[in-house]
A and B are shown apart, each in its own frame.
Chain A
Amino acid sequence: MGSPATNEVREAADRYKAGVIPYKQMGYWDPDYGPKDTDLLALFRITPQPGVDADEAAAAVAGESSTATWTVVWTDRLTAADVYRAKAYRVDPVPNTGPGTQTEAQYFAYIAYDLDLFEPGSIANLTASIIGNVFGFKAVRALRLEDMRIPLAYLKTFQGPATGIVVERERLDKFGRPLLGATTKPKLGLSGRNYGRVVYEALRGGLDFVKDDENINSQPFMHWRDRFLYCMEAVNKASAATGEVKGHYLNVTAGTMEDMYERAELAKSLGSVIVMIDLVIGYTAIQSMAKWARRNDMILHLHRAGNSTYSRQKNHGMNFRVICKWMRMAGVDHIHAGTVVGKLEGDPLMIKGFYDTLRGTRVPQSLEHGLFFDQDWASLNRVMPVASGGIHAGQMHQLLHYLGEDVVLQFGGGTIGHPMGIQAGATANRVALEAMILARNEGRDYLREGPQILEQAARWCTPLKAALETWRDITFNYESTDTADYVPTPTASF
C-alpha cells in the first residue's frame, strides 16, 4: 500500500500505457457526473454493435465526439484532459427495443461537453464535434442525435434570428393571425414574366407572401435577375392594389458566397422585404446570410432542402428538432417545420416539439414532444415556423389548432390549383383563415365546428365554396416514421 499520491501516479501511469483500452476506462463514462449549467448536453440514440455493452458504446460516442482517438496517446498528459473529455453520464434503454421486440436494442445516452470545447458563435465548429467522425464509428451500428441542451453562455455568442417574429410582424403590419403564403408552381420552367404573373395573382388575391422553390436559382429557362425584376413588379403592384405590405421570398441560393451576396444586394435594392436560402448551402453560409440580413433589415427564410436525408429515420442521423435549434442559433427567421395534416412527414406531438423550440423563450423538458432538456433561449429572437406541403383551406381549423397563430401557412397547390384561378385560390385561403380566427377569438369550439364555420363563410365567398368542393376529402393519413419513444417515468423498462 502506497500513499494516496503514489497511487494516483501509478493509476495515471497505467491509464496512459500505450495501447488500446475501453473508452469507459479512458474517462468518458462517469455516471456520477452532475452536468454544469455551462455544459452543452447531447442526447444520442445508440444502437451498439452486438457484444458492445451500452455504457461502453455511450463512452465511445462521448470520446469520439470530443478528445479521443482509438488508442491511448501520451500527449493527453500535456493538457487538462479531464476537462476536455466529454462525459457520458446516463444511459437508458429505449422503450420497445431489444429482446422480445421487433427492433434491436437501442439506448438513450446523455453526454455532457464542457463549454470550452467549442468556438463561440460557430455552428460549424459545434457540429464538427457533435456530428463529426462519430457517426461513422464502427462500434455503433447506428447513431442518432435526438436533442441538445445549449447552455445560456454559449447561446449568447450567437446573433440569433436576424429579424424574429415580433419585428417581422411589426414590419409587415400583420398581427393576430397566421401569415399566408404559396410556392410558385410549376417549380421549373416558367419564364421570368410568367413567373411574376403567379406571384401577382396570389398576392393580389390575399396572400402575404409568395415563395421561390428551393431549386429555383438561375437556370436556362429563367435567370435570377429576370425573376427578381418581375417578382418585385408583382409585389409592388399587389401592394398598391390592396394597401398591404407584401413579399416574395427571392431565393438567393447560389454556388458561391459572392454570388449569394450579389443576389441579396439586388433584392435589397429592389425593395424586397425578404430573401430565402436553402439548408444545403451549409451552416457557415447560413450564418453569413443571417448577419447580412440583420445588417440590411431583411427577413431571412430558410427552406430545409435536404434535411430528410438524415432526419427521417429513427435509428440513424439526427432529429429535426436539433436542426431547429441550430438554425435558431444560426439566425434564420423562417424555417419549414411541418404541417401535421399535409403531405410530408410529421407526427403531431413531434411537430409541437419543433414549433415550441422555434417559438418559445423558455421551453421545458417534455418527453412526449421529444424534448429531453429544459431550454432557455436567452432572449434570442423567435423563429417563424412555416407549414407547407399538401395543405388546403378545408383544413384551416386543424392547422390553427395544431400550429397556432405564429406560423406561415403555405398553400401552393391549394392556391394555384384552384378551379377559378390563382386569385380566387388566395382569397379562399384568406377568408377561411380570417373566419377561423374570428370564431376562435369569439370563444367558439373551432376545432369541432371548423367545417361549419367554413361552410358558413363559403355561403358568401364563392372562391371558398369552390375550394371546399375541390379538396374537401383530401387527407394524407400515413403513419409517421418519427415518433417519440418515452415512458412517463424516469427509468425506462421493457
Chain B
Amino acid sequence: MTDQGMRITQGQFSFLPDLTDEQIAAQVRYALGNGWAVNLEYTDDPHPRNTYWEMFGMPLFELRDPAALMAELEQCRKSFPRHYIRVTAFDSTRGWETPRMSFIVNRPQHEPGFRLVRQEVDGRQIRYTIHPYATDKPEGERYP
C-alpha cells in the first residue's frame, strides 16, 4: 500500500474522509439521544498518551440539540484553526462513567507525525519513546 502521508488515526472516524458539519451534527445527535454529555477539546500535542487535551468549555450537560455544540465548534475552529479538535461524549450511567464516543473534527493541514526514539539497553531490549515532531516548538507555534 502506498503511504498517503501521515494522518493521525485517533478517534472513531479517522479512517473516513473528514466529516462534514452535517455528519458531525448527526453524531452529536446520537450522543444526546443516548443521554451523553458532549464537549470539545483541542491540542497541538497529539501524542497518543496525551490524555488531557485542553477543554473548550465544560461538557454541555443541558444540551438537547446539536446546534449549540456546532456553534461552539465554529468558535473553537476560529480560535484554533490548526489544532486538533475532538468531540467527546461522556456517559454518567453506573458501570460506565467514562467516554463513550471520541472523534476528531479538526486537524492541522500538515501532520508531521512522530519520531520513534530507540534506546538500546541490556540484552537485546529497546526502550521506545514516541516523540511528536511538532512538540519541538512551544505550544501555539507548532502547526504553521
Given known contacts A169-B98, A245-B48, A269-B125, A237 and B116 CB-to-CB distance under 8 angstroms? yes
Which one of A55-63, A305-313, A408-416, A426-434 contacts B? A426-434
Q: Are A438 and B101 in contact (CB under 8 A)?
A: no
- Least CB distance from B89 to A in Å reads 8
Q: Looking at the complex, which one of A237, A424, A431, A442 makes contact with B15 (CB distance below 8 Å)?
A: A431
Chain A, residues 462-487, CB within 8 Å of chain B (1/0): the string is 01000000000000000000000000
B113 lies within 8 A of A361 (CB): no
Whether the pair A239, B130 counts as a contact (CB closer than 8 A) is: yes
| CB atoms of B101 and A240 under 8 A apart | no
Expressed in whole angstroms, the Cα–Cα distance for A62 and B127 within the complex equals: 56
A270 to B6, CA, bound (A): 26
Q: Does A242 contact B (CB under 8 A)?
A: yes
Alpha-carbon separation in the docked complex, A424 to B15 (Å):
12
A243 touches B8 (CB 8 A): yes
* Binding-face segment, B23-31, B58-66, B67-75, B135-143: B23-31
Partner of B12, one of A379, A431, A434: A434
Instruction: Known A173-B51, A243-B46; judge A434-B100 contact (CB<8 A).
Output: no
The answer to whether B8 and A206 have CB atoms under 8 Å apart is no
Q: How far is the CA of A295 from the CA of B84 in the complex (A)?
A: 34
Across-interface contacts of A258 in B (CB, < 8 A): none
- Which residues of B, 29-56, contact A by the 8 Å Cβ criterion? 30, 46-49, 51
In the bound complex, CA of A438 to CA of B14 (Å): 11
Pick the most buried of A237, A241, A457: most chain B CB atoms within 10 A of its CB: A241
Contact A206-B125, Cβ < 8 Å, known A173-B51, A236-B130, A245-B48: no
A contacts with B: majority SS: helix
Partner of A435, one of B16, B101, B130: B16
Contacts of A361 in B (CB 8 A): 94-95
| Chain A interface, number of residues (Cβ within 8 angstroms) | 45
A421 at the binding interface (Cβ < 8 Å): yes
Expressed in whole angstroms, the Cα–Cα distance for A191 and B93 within the complex equals 47
Assess the B101–A175 pair: CB atoms within 8 A.
Answer: yes
Contact B98 A242 (CB under 8 A): no
User: What is the CA–CA distance of A251 and B131 in the complex, to the nearest angstrom?
Assistant: 28
Query: Would A166 and B96 count as touching, CB distance under 8 A?
Result: yes
Given A170-B98, A244-B48, check contact A233 B126 (CB 8 Å). yes
Residues of chain A within 8 A (CB-CB) of B78 are none
Please indicate which of the listed interface residues A170, A243, A361, A443 has the most CB atoms of chain B within 10 Å of its own CB: A243
A97 to B13 CA separation, bound complex (whole angstroms): 51
Chain B residues near A (Cβ < 8 Å): 1, 6, 8-10, 12-17, 19, 23, 26-27, 30, 46-49, 51, 88-89, 94-103, 113-116, 124-128, 130
**Nearest 5 A-B pairs (CB), nearest first?**
A243-B8, A441-B30, A236-B128, A240-B116, A176-B101
Q: List 5 A-B contacts (CB under 8 A).
A: A175-B98, A241-B113, A242-B9, A243-B114, A427-B15
Beyond the given A206-B15, A441-B27, could you list 20 further A-B residue pairs with CB under 8 A, ordered by the A residue number?
Answer: A169-B99, A170-B99, A175-B88, A176-B102, A176-B103, A177-B12, A232-B126, A233-B126, A241-B6, A243-B114, A244-B10, A269-B125, A270-B125, A361-B94, A427-B1, A431-B16, A434-B12, A437-B12, A442-B27, A443-B30
